[in-house]
Structure 1
């Protein structure tokens, strides 16, 4: 696996790897954009970040899945904040690949055990849900960009930051 491209712009407000990993662990929704036949298609999803890849679960009978079968390139953004000097986020660009059976029926898969449990811990109270309609996609980053406007000179600091 090739390392993602280094962020060139906005490095002064970029998150460190540890800050990025903590941010992605706490945030719950990613917006992904695929390349459809009629232009970009953007949708929100739940996700799991394992420190090197973003794991997405998608309905296999969705426009997103059809788009990705034709073109596996994807853009993903997780962001937070309300006021300008509190905005922060991560953008990941790369390619996805399906992992496991399509749709996921629960066949043993050591690569998915850790991912499914981490996903369940984050979203479903620790209960792994396999519904026979979704499948797993691994987004391998080609480029990661991040920003944390709280690092701007004069930004208000939140308690505990």
Structure 2
């Protein structure tokens, strides 16, 4: 058995840090959906699932320019992201930089559009792109991987 297998929902074989990092980067590259958590100082937390594009350095998301998510990210840029699999957890912390569709870097917009076959820049309603550069990344599968789950700290990979 390879040490990357999930044996059951409650039992896993422990992966070492470099393997966790490789698998985390592969998931960021291939997965479609991610949960974005923002917060408003008066109204509290807000969480939504969004499509995302990983460019190798940052996570790019897109939301309506007038959405609660956009308003929260502008007021409080510290955000958290989570891939949707609770048996193979990946959590990313960072700060959201906001780009109106007309100002988004071409490479990021084209990467997003290429992944999804949809280009928010072509929509009638205005969209806002969010770039989240990871500051902290945690990844684990079950209790066996709780120790060593921090893969990135202060924007630098620790494994």
Quote the RMSD (CA, aligned, Å).
Answer: 2.4
User: Could you tell me whether the CA contact under 8 Å between 1:13 and 1:148 is conserved in 2?
Assistant: no
More strand by share: 2
Secondary structure at the aligned position of 1:80 is classed as coil
Which residue in the other structure is 2:140 paired with? 147
d(CA) in 1 for partners of 2:141 and 2:106?
32
Does the 8 Å contact 1:47/1:119 carry over to 2?
yes
Q: 1:128: which partner in 2?
A: 119
Q: Following TM superposition, by how much is the alpha carbon of 1:117 offset from its aligned partner in structure 2, in angstroms?
A: 2.0
Q: Offset at 1:12?
A: 4.5
> Match for residue 67 of structure 2?
62
Give runs of ≥4 in structure 1 deviating > 6 Å.
none
- Count of residues paired in the alignment: 127
Q: Given the two structures, how large is their TM-score scaled by the length of structure 1?
A: 0.68
- Cα drift, residue 128 of structure 1: 3.3
Give the whole-Å Cα distance in 2 for the aligned partners of 1:13 and 1:38.
40
Partners of 2:79 and 2:120 lie apart in 1 by 25
Structural mapping, 1:1-161, within 5 Å: 12=15, 16-36=20-40, 37-80=42-85, 87-99=87-99, 102=100, 104-105=101-102, 112-124=105-117, 128-130=119-121, 131=123, 132-149=125-142
Distance 1:147-1:98 versus aligned 2 partners, 3 A rule: same
Any unmatched runs of 5+ in structure 2?
A: 1-13, 146-159
CA offsets per residue over residues 78-130 of structure 1, 9 Å max, x none?
1337xxxxx2131111111123xx2x24x6x6xx2222222122211xx5341
Residue 64 of structure 1 and its aligned partner are, at CA, apart by 0.9
Does structure 1 conserve the Cα–Cα contact (< 8 Å) formed by 2:97 and 2:132? yes
Q: Report if the CA contact (8 A) 1:92-1:141 is conserved.
A: yes
